[in-house]
Structure formats: C-alpha cells, structure tokens
A and B are shown apart, each in its own frame.
Chain A
C-alpha cells in the first residue's frame, strides 16, 4: 500500500522525540481522526538549525513528519515555509490519495512553529 520511502521513514524515523529548550513549537491536531503532530525548532541566523517531531498518528503521518524534518533542516525559515504538500508527497515516492491530509497536517504544524518563532521575535523587539 505504501512506498518503500514511507515505510523506511515510518520504521526508522529521523529527528523524533522531544526537544529541550526549543525556540518555538508548532502543534496541530486533526479533530476528524484524532491525530496530533508537533514540531520543535531551534533557529539560528534565520535558519532552522535543529528540528524534532512528536506524532500521534498513522504510519503516513509519522513518515511525513520524519521526511519534513530532513527536508527543512538547515533551510532558512522562508525556504522552509515554502515547502508544499506536493513536495513532501514527491519525496516520499507518492501517497494514497486518502492519506494526503496527513502531509497537509505536517505543513500546518511547521508553519505554526515558524509563525510562533516570528511572533516571539517581534514581541522581544517591541
């Protein structure tokens, strides 16, 4: 049912677990199916220096989270925010259609983390 890449990331996820002292956190839940996806980021010089995830969800949600972390590590915040659902799906070698919402969940969660980082910054400045 799932591509090799999905299974690989599901079985051996990268960057999973809690992060101590993150610069920002983004969490989204899907009320429809009860899934929760959370990214922790550390930012340096406007770049994502480190990222970790915690995901309560299906195999795809876990694979997507893991893939997302590998795709954005080292990228600038702007670059990271530009990643689309299609990008992730492509990197994962395709997803069944009814699983596309899992990747949109990851995008929302990352966006939340980035937004919250930016909000914190403006708060500090003002």
Chain B
C-alpha cells in the first residue's frame, strides 16, 4: 500500500497545476525561440510572453505595459526597494525615508537593512499587534516629508494575517495629492494572490510583487506590477528586455506558466470558501484535542488556508520530522529549523516568547487538501505531541 501523503506546506510552495504544466510544455522544445528574434520561431515565443503579460494584467486589472517579469517575488521586492531609493537619491539631497512592517518577508527586510546599514536611508519598521495586524493610523503617523516608499505585505506567509491594503492605499493616494515628494506604495502580495482581491485600482497600490510557485505555477518566475509613470532604475542592464528595466532573455516557459496559473486562480473563485471550512475544522480539532495548544495570529483577518499553532513543551522541528515520518508535511518557526538558530521574526513580532516560537507549527492548506486529509492530521498530531512531551518531560 502506498503510504499516505498529506502536503500542508502550500505557503512554502505549491505543485504545478497539470493545466499550467501543459501550457508550458511546448515552450521548451517546440516554440523554443528567443522572443527577440524576428523570425517565426522567435515570434511564437514572443506571442507566448505577451499573452502571459496580458493574463497577468487582466488578473491585476492593469495595463500589460505595467507588468515586468522577474525571477520571482524576492527579485521584485529587492528591485522596488533599491530602484525607488536610487531614483530618490538622484533627485534629492535628503535621505530617502521608507516605511515597512517588522514582520515583512526577508525579501523586503534584508535589502532595507543593507541600505540602512550603509547609511543611505532612514526607515520605520512599524510594529504589529499581537493579532498580527497594522493599524492604518500607524502608517500615517510614520510618514515624513522625505518618505519615498511604503511597503506593506498583503498577507503574512507564516501566520496568514491580512493587512488593510486598500485603506492604506487610499490614505497614501490622498496624502500624495498634497505632497511634493510622491510616496510609492508597494505591497508584497505573494501569499494573497490565491485568495484575495488583487485589483490594483481597488487596492490603490503603485507596485505589487507576486510569485509563480505559490499559485500552482512554476518556480523561478514572478512579476512586479509598476504603475505607469512611476520612476524606477533598471534592475539588470543588458539587451534592454522588459522595457529596458530588466534585461536578459525571457524565461518563456516560466512566463507562460505564470500567466496560466493566474488565469486559473481567477477561475477558481470558490477555493477560498472550501479551504476555509477545512482549515476551521483543523483549528477547532487541534485546540480541542491537544491540551496547551494555541492559535497564533488573528483568526478573523487571516488567509483561509493558514493555521499556525504553538504547543507547549515541545519543539517544532521535532514535530515536523515526526509528522513527515507519517507522511504529513508542514512547517515550523522554531530556531532549530533555521540555519541561523533564530526563532521566526514573525512570531516574535506578534509577541510570542522564544519558547512559544520554538514550539510552533504552520499548516497551509491548498487546492488538493481534502476533508480526509484533515481527519488524518487530527488523528496523528495529538499522538505526536503527546509522545514528544513525554520525551521532553514537560
């Protein structure tokens, strides 16, 4: 009998949807041309790329011209930060000021920290509540004369909490009307794309990062939406691809896959409701069946797919290995699972002790998740926790 496998790490990555894969396939060995080539084979590839750009644009309700393909959201995030700061420094003698959240993804935090260390920028890392949420007025308070970029994630990858992006967007666009120094408002929407409204007009954002492999598309491909007339320096210089902003021959199969993946997300409007039901069953079951367990982060303002717990007296990496042995794949914010031996910065940002972060487990459901998967976890997990508590003596 094949061992049962339940993949609940969809926030880390997702499998490529069969329909997406099928659309990508011809672009490896049949329509393999370079989109810059003028001949027929090149033109086929170019058409693939432009169709995908159209698909991404229609998902975000923007113009195809406002979409730049990148190698993933980490690249998009790095680019928006460095690119906006560069432009500001060209035109101003003041130091550029940035506003972001303490528990953004590392793809935002690390490039900002480097600029800060070099003394090139000022930055406010806004705190979040113990529910994992930011209040709009906190953003307003942080904004200064020299603020050039506000970057706030749409949904958190570890605890799934959802920030009020459109409210912040409205605030910033109001402020911009009276400002000399326009603020660029960016959101990292990587985790949000599957479940939340990503219409950029509705969100009122100037820039948005997304990634292929979190939405049942391929790895190594992402995009940056950048509103028309927003100035940014080029990310990679060379042959002038992506309107001169990001040179390098396009990852054609990846781009085609990203377009198709978004196309599918748009079609599968009911996934969220179905997944939320299963997720809620998981939360109720775990809190009921496992003593000394807690849910981390707001339940109300949360992605339908995310559940994050702490279990007193156990360590997360051990839980993950024990679950993996039983065919259940999840994640942890424990220091023991990170090579840096530091607990998750997200969990400590919402006020968890190192000990609670040490004891955390994240389950992220996906399209494939079934009710019997949830029943299986509810059967296995209490035993795993009980056994590890026996070992720890706590």
**A, B: real partners:** yes
Chain A positions within 8 Å of B, measured between CB atoms, are: 2, 7, 10-11, 13, 16-18, 32-36, 38, 54-59, 61-62, 98, 101
Question: Would you give the 0/1 interface string for B298-322, flagging 1 where the beta carbon is closer than 8 Å to chain A?
Answer: 0000000000000001110110011
Given A17-B393, A33-B341, A10 and B336 contact (CB-CB distance below 8 Å): no
Q: Can you name the residue of chain B whose Cβ is closest to the Cβ of A101?
A: B341
CB distance A33 to B335 under 8 Å? yes
A6 to chain B, nearest CB (A): 9
CB neighbours (8 Å) of B392 from chain A are: 36, 54-57
Given A56-B313, A56-B314, A59-B317, A35 and B336 contact (CB-CB distance below 8 Å): yes
Known pairs A33-B343, A58-B317. 20 more at Cβ < 8 A?
A2-B321, A10-B318, A10-B321, A13-B391, A16-B391, A33-B358, A34-B343, A34-B358, A35-B358, A54-B392, A55-B392, A56-B313, A56-B394, A57-B315, A57-B336, A58-B334, A58-B336, A59-B322, A98-B339, A101-B341
Which bucket holds chain B's interface residue count? 20 to 34
CB distance B315 to A58 under 8 Å? yes
CB distance B318 to A59 under 8 Å? yes
CB distance B391 to A58 under 8 Å? no
A4 to chain B, nearest CB (A): 12
CB neighbours (8 Å) of A34 from chain B are: 315, 335, 343, 354-355, 358
Question: Would you give the 0/1 interface string for B320-346, flagging 1 where the beta carbon is closer than 8 Å to chain A?
Answer: 011001000000001111010111000
Q: How far is the CA of A58 from the CA of B336 in the complex (A)?
A: 6
Selected contact of B318 from candidates A16, A18, A58, A101, CB within 8 Å: A58
**Interface SS, A side:** mixed
Given A16-B390, A16-B391, A34-B358, A58 and B322 contact (CB-CB distance below 8 Å): no
CB-contacts of B264-314 with A (<8 A): 313-314
A35 to chain B, nearest CB (A): 7
Q: Can you name the residue of chain B whose Cβ is closest to the Cβ of A6?
A: B321
Q: How far is the CA of A62 from the CA of B325 in the complex (A)?
A: 15
Q: Can you name the residue of chain A whose Cβ is closest to the Cβ of B314?
A: A56
CB neighbours (8 Å) of A62 from chain B are: 318, 391
CB neighbours (8 Å) of B314 from chain A are: 56
CB neighbours (8 Å) of B343 from chain A are: 33-34
CB distance A32 to B341 under 8 Å? yes
Q: Can you name the residue of chain B whose Cβ is closest to the Cβ of A31?
A: B354
CB neighbours (8 Å) of A10 from chain B are: 318, 321-322
CB neighbours (8 Å) of A98 from chain B are: 339
Q: How far is the CA of A13 from the CA of B335 in the complex (A)?
A: 22
CB neighbours (8 Å) of B325 from chain A are: 7, 11
A11 to chain B, nearest CB (A): 6
CB distance A18 to B391 under 8 Å? no
Q: Please, could you name 25 A-B residue pairs with CB atoms under 8 Å apart, sorted by A?
A: A7-B325, A10-B318, A10-B322, A11-B322, A11-B325, A17-B390, A18-B393, A32-B342, A33-B341, A34-B354, A34-B355, A35-B315, A36-B392, A38-B393, A54-B392, A56-B314, A57-B315, A57-B392, A58-B321, A58-B336, A58-B337, A59-B318, A59-B322, A61-B315, A61-B336
Residue among A35, A55, A98 with max Cβ neighbours from chain B (10 Å): A35
